[in-house]
Structure 1
Amino acid sequence: MDAAQAFNEAVTALHEGRFLDSQKLCLEILNQDPRHFGSLIIMATLHQQVGNFQEAINLLTHAGSFQLFNDWQFVLFARALAAVGRKGEAVDQYLKALVANPDIRATTPDLYALLEEKRREPDLPHHPFPSPPWKASLVADRAFMENRIFTPMPDTYLSHWPISNWVALRAAMATCGIDLATYDINPPETSDLIFYVNVNSMRHLPEGEEISRSVLLAYEPAVVIARNRDTAVHEHFAKVFIADDSLVDNVKIFKMPMAYCEVPATRPQFDARSKTKLCTMVNSAKYWPYFNELYSQRMALIRWFEEHHPEDFEFYGAGWKAAEYPSYRGAISNREKVSIQAPYRFAVCYENNSDSPGAITEKIFDCLLGGCVPIYWGVPNITAYVPKTCFIDRRDFATNEELYNYLKGMGDDELQGYLDSISDYLVGDRCRYFTDQCFASTILRQVLGMLP
């Protein structure tokens, strides 16, 4: 029988309590395909049932490295970790399960008790607020009041804002009895937690007792809001979440996963032969004067292509004047950013600046999800997050002409190698760091101990 039939029989045997038969079938499948996700999950389940928790953990770690878990698979992982005393890691996995399915709390009382135990560990001085449910206030720009930050917006209005990660954060907090709402609904003065989205969103810097319940979510990079990385400003918060690796100490300042990627359910199949155009770029016409800014480098590349090879370049985005840029093809909606890049072999992907380690934006993920090889320039430690085989590093070329010659000379086989690496990355463990689920569970994990 083929692998699909064997796996169906293994599932049936598991449900009927014929564990040895299920194990035998899964081992046969894994001998042929060591990455067969379903068989790894069944084997982990069987090991956990007989108390081989470490082996279950090993199998689940392997399975999770190339496919995203569902809620019950996160629970399975959490229970195995808890059984060997790794309670902190167990809580992390359980929080991910709650983000995936808030209703799972009712059917996992053992793990919910563990979450409560970890939440009550001493972290910061507690404050005299009412018992749960707790209230959390989200202080953001006025455009997001009335909980609009949790509501998808039309493409024509603030559509660049990644609403889904705030929805995930709100859902995750609700599972723990925390009501998260914008500050016009849950006033900061009467809330147990206060989340400030960027420094420029606040009425004033927190002072006095308010500091111990205030959290800064420094979402925008310093090139846009310089005070987000001001250490003097950070003193006004109990905890700070920021994308810039150079500021993270994991005591007060924590790395904030930027939720930009929706992991595909299956491995994408990109075909180099379907790429009919050479190069594109998707960027708005913005400019902030900042040390090591890359806005001017984008504009220089546009002008270089228009002067030397106008037939090989087109770009899109809001705010550009068509009369001034012959290669401009118009504004597009946020939802079109991935699909518009699909016909192109390469996409110019320059961040806003080049001096913020770890501060990766959505630009590179729009390229990757569209099956378009990014020409990347920005985060100096980009390979800590995205493999070198998935993009072209602009820093490897002295001039735009040298870069162009490399792009133009690349054959389909070499391009397919990049595309295959991108496909592997998008369904792998490293990419999941940039998901709504990771964003929500990371923040929730750190603020639970702040509750009274």
Structure 2
Amino acid sequence: MLTGSIYGWENGEDDIFNPHSPRNRDNCLEPMRVLDAFAKQSGINLHTADVNERNGIKPDFSIYVESIDFVPGSASKNYLILFETPLTVPKNADCNYLNQFDVIFTWDHLLLKNGLRDQAGNFTSHTRFIQIQTPNPIPEECGADFQSAFFEQRQNFVCLIGSNRHANCVDERELYSQRVKAVRWFEKFAPGKLKLYGNGWKVPPKRFGSLGKVRYRLEKIIPWLSGKPVFPSYQGPAKTKYAVLSNTKFCICFENARDISGYITEKIFDCLFAGCVPIYWGDANIAQFIPAECFIDFRQFSSYEALYKFMESMTPEQFLSYQQAARQFLTSSQFMPFSSQHFAKTIIGKIAQDFA
């Protein structure tokens, strides 16, 4: 029987497979439990690295969940699951780091097509890259047919769910700052219409550079002195994303970065599951993967004012058409590449093939 060690999960102790883990918010660990189930069916034991080390087991292979420091060991194969963009995880663009892995599972169309650049600037073989998408667990509340509350039953107009973070490098494609702009616009021009959820919104967003740090400190002090919240629309962390989205008509659904081919995260799927209409900005080719009838394309509006007018004028019948399109997509074969099952089958299938 093959044994694999999983790296990149802070808690260890096989917590990555634990449905009761405090880190399993919105059932985000389902893909790893499905991965474990597929592995067992193929005669493969998976454990977090600390469990194998404690039991004196030398793994046949390692799986890194996102880019962390590589630990040289006895494993004959090393695999990487690459989820984030280099804007958030700079290692994901580091050829020296990526070249330590035999196989990399990724959504990144450029890596899948071209491979890595070597030190001379030439592209190396792309055969080590295997395509996956970010897996999306279906909330239990959805039901098999994805029925959800109608337009009139949704008490809240628009929301934004996400942590107050920033990119780890300067790049015009980052959308963290654009989320802040969206929140600020609604707070100023449509007060009370937007509800903001997530972590870290009691302080202003951090900024780059020396002047940015000074500005951040000033922005942090002024609300403290005035006693006013930094973001008046802030509601605190969401108990669950489904609970918020199923009671809201629209959601500002911006990826962490735009115009990165293949980068489609759980954000838009969270909305579709809950029957909430996403206002999407991210992958320029999103309509190749998710039908355009399912979402509002933010790029089609010249301003937030134009977007707001469109949202305000939407009829219950138009809203229902978005929901119906989303339901049709989620129950079709088009959704399959974004499922936990496809994610697990692709990874375990490759590992089993490599050790056949």
Is 1:330 aligned to 2:209, yes or no?
no
Is 1:388 aligned to 2:292, yes or no?
yes
Is 1:417 aligned to 2:321, yes or no?
yes
Tell me the equivalent position of 1:145. 12
Is 1:247 aligned to 2:111, yes or no?
yes
Tell me the equivalent position of 1:46. none
- Deviation string 1:20-69 (CA, Å, 9 cap, x unpaired) is xxxxxxxxxxxxxxxxxxxxxxxxxxxxxxxxxxxxxxxxxxxxxxxxxx
Amino acid in the other structure paired with 2:261: P
Tell me the equivalent position of 1:238. 102
Amino acid in the other structure paired with 1:274: Q
Amino acid in the other structure paired with 1:140: G
Pair 1:161–1:242, CA change in 2 (3 A): farther
Tell me the equivalent position of 1:279. 158
- SS of the counterpart of 1:346? strand
Quote how far apart the aligned CAs of 1:267 are.
4.3
Tell me the equivalent position of 2:217. none
Tell me the equivalent position of 2:64. 196
C-alpha contact (below 8 Å) 1:136/1:194 kept by paired residues:
yes
- SS of the counterpart of 2:68? helix
Quote how far apart the aligned CAs of 1:266 are.
2.1
Is 1:317 aligned to 2:198, yes or no?
yes
- SS of the counterpart of 1:323? coil
C-alpha contact (below 8 Å) 1:260/1:365 kept by paired residues:
yes
C-alpha contact (below 8 Å) 1:282/1:317 kept by paired residues:
yes
C-alpha contact (below 8 Å) 1:241/1:254 kept by paired residues:
yes
Stretches of structure 1 that go unaligned for 5 or more consecutive residues are: 1-132
Matches within 5 A, 1:128-143: 133-141=1-9, 143=10
C-alpha contact (below 8 Å) 1:269/1:423 kept by paired residues:
no
Tell me the equivalent position of 1:166. 32
Give the TM-score, by structure 1 length. 0.65
Pair 1:302–1:344, CA change in 2 (3 A): same
For residues 243 and 379 of structure 1, the distance between their equivalents in structure 2, rounded to whole angstroms, comes to: 11
- SS of the counterpart of 2:52? coil
For residues 316 and 272 of structure 1, the distance between their equivalents in structure 2, rounded to whole angstroms, comes to: 21
From 15, 24, 44, the equivalent of 1:178 is 44
C-alpha contact (below 8 Å) 2:2/2:44 kept by paired residues:
yes
Amino acid in the other structure paired with 2:158: C
Q: Which has the larger radius of gyration?
A: 1
Pair 1:137–1:341, CA change in 2 (3 A): same
Is 1:307 aligned to 2:188, yes or no?
yes
Pair 1:198–1:276, CA change in 2 (3 A): closer
Quote how far apart the aligned CAs of 1:217 are.
1.1
Matches within 5 A, 1:356-371: 356-371=260-275
- SS of the counterpart of 1:284? coil
Is 1:261 aligned to 2:172, yes or no?
no
For residues 244 and 264 of structure 2, the distance between their equivalents in structure 1, rounded to whole angstroms, comes to: 21
- Deviation string 1:308-363 (CA, Å, 9 cap, x unpaired) is 11132112112211811111112123xx1012122221110011111321221111
Amino acid in the other structure paired with 1:327: S
- SS of the counterpart of 1:184? helix
Pair 1:259–1:365, CA change in 2 (3 A): same
Is 1:345 aligned to 2:226, yes or no?
no
- SS of the counterpart of 2:229? helix
Is 1:445 aligned to 2:349, yes or no?
yes
C-alpha contact (below 8 Å) 2:133/2:264 kept by paired residues:
no
For residues 425 and 182 of structure 1, the distance between their equivalents in structure 2, rounded to whole angstroms, comes to: 35
Tell me the equivalent position of 2:338. 434
- Deviation string 1:142-169 (CA, Å, 9 cap, x unpaired) is x2311111112455x4637821111111
Tell me the equivalent position of 1:87. none
Stretches of structure 2 that go unaligned for 5 or more consecutive residues are: 114-125, 203-227
C-alpha contact (below 8 Å) 2:14/2:48 kept by paired residues:
yes
Question: Could you say what the CA RMSD is over the residues aligned between the two structures, in angstroms?
Answer: 2.3
For residues 254 and 421 of structure 1, the distance between their equivalents in structure 2, rounded to whole angstroms, comes to: 30
Quote how far apart the aligned CAs of 1:269 are.
4.7
- Deviation string 1:257-283 (CA, Å, 9 cap, x unpaired) is 221132842242542232333211111
Amino acid in the other structure paired with 2:161: V
- Deviation string 1:218-243 (CA, Å, 9 cap, x unpaired) is 12332221212434433221110012
For residues 265 and 62 of structure 2, the distance between their equivalents in structure 1, rounded to whole angstroms, comes to: 25
Amino acid in the other structure paired with 2:234: Y
The count of corresponding residues between Structure 1 and Structure 2 is: 312
Pair 1:161–1:144, CA change in 2 (3 A): farther
Pair 1:138–1:154, CA change in 2 (3 A): closer
Pair 1:304–1:318, CA change in 2 (3 A): same
Tell me the equivalent position of 1:298. 179
Tell me the equivalent position of 2:221. none
From 44, 53, 77, the equivalent of 1:213 is 77
C-alpha contact (below 8 Å) 1:153/1:159 kept by paired residues:
no
For residues 173 and 238 of structure 1, the distance between their equivalents in structure 2, rounded to whole angstroms, comes to: 19
Identity %: 29
For residues 285 and 161 of structure 1, the distance between their equivalents in structure 2, rounded to whole angstroms, comes to: 22
C-alpha contact (below 8 Å) 1:138/1:197 kept by paired residues:
yes
Is 1:377 aligned to 2:281, yes or no?
yes
Tell me the equivalent position of 2:218. none
For residues 67 and 196 of structure 2, the distance between their equivalents in structure 1, rounded to whole angstroms, comes to: 32
For residues 148 and 270 of structure 2, the distance between their equivalents in structure 1, rounded to whole angstroms, comes to: 16
